[in-house]
Amino acid sequence: LTLESAKDRTISEQVVLFSTSKEEKSDDWLVFAAPEARDVIWPNVGTPLPQVRTRIRVGQAACFAGVMFWTVPVAFIQTICSEAYLRETIPDYVEWFKDHAYPVYNLVVGYLPVLALMLLILLLPYMLYYLARWFELRKTRTSIARSVLQRNFVFQFVSIWMTVFSSSIADSFRVILKQPQCSYIILGQA
């Protein structure tokens, strides 16, 4: 249906077309403005709406699980590259690198965690795009872009939060494991 004025288009979007019986749900018909032809992903157009909605719910669950999984590599990278962890696990090597190969030491402690996290963050939008386009079968590029941006924001927020707090949390738990009787004091200070 093509309408020639914005007024007619607005009215047609608000009109309930028809109902053949009183038992029918009011959401059987969905009326909204059609996207531009170049925004439509034509291979996904034929997918029924209930199937798309189910796939989106599964995709949201996968993203929630992904956020929970995402904290593991982010925290792991931050923990193993921290100076305190390196001094605790390999103190002799830390001192040797600090004295004889300071650029390598500085790279491992200062830049390697950031570069590893940047690589993960760089790959993330491509994975989210794949999820929205090929698994959820979203029908427009705008819908895919909105989904990728919203989900990417959540992952970015979790990444920043884990980057800021992972080292202090890991240090606190390490001290708690060594001195469990002081756990309330340690958690209160952290």
pLDDT, one tens digit per residue, over 5-52 is 778 777 776 665 555 555 555 556 666 677 888 999 999 999 998 999
pLDDT for position 137: 95
Please enumerate in sequence order all residues whose Cβ is within 8 A of that of 104, keeping only pairs 6 or more positions apart, or say none: 97
Q: Average pLDDT for residues 123-129, to the nearest whole number?
A: 96
Residue with the bigger pLDDT between 146 and 104: it is: 146
Supply the pTM of this predicted model: 0.68
Q: What mean pLDDT is reported for the chain? A: 82
Please enumerate in sequence order all residues whose Cβ is within 8 A of that of 77, keeping only pairs 6 or more positions apart, or say none: 113, 116, 117
CB 124 within 8 A of CB 152: yes
The Cα–Cα gap between 14 and 83 comes to: 62
Q: Which of 64-73, 82-91, 140-149 is the least confident region? A: 82-91
Report residue 135's pLDDT band, with 50, 70 and 90 as the boundaries: very high
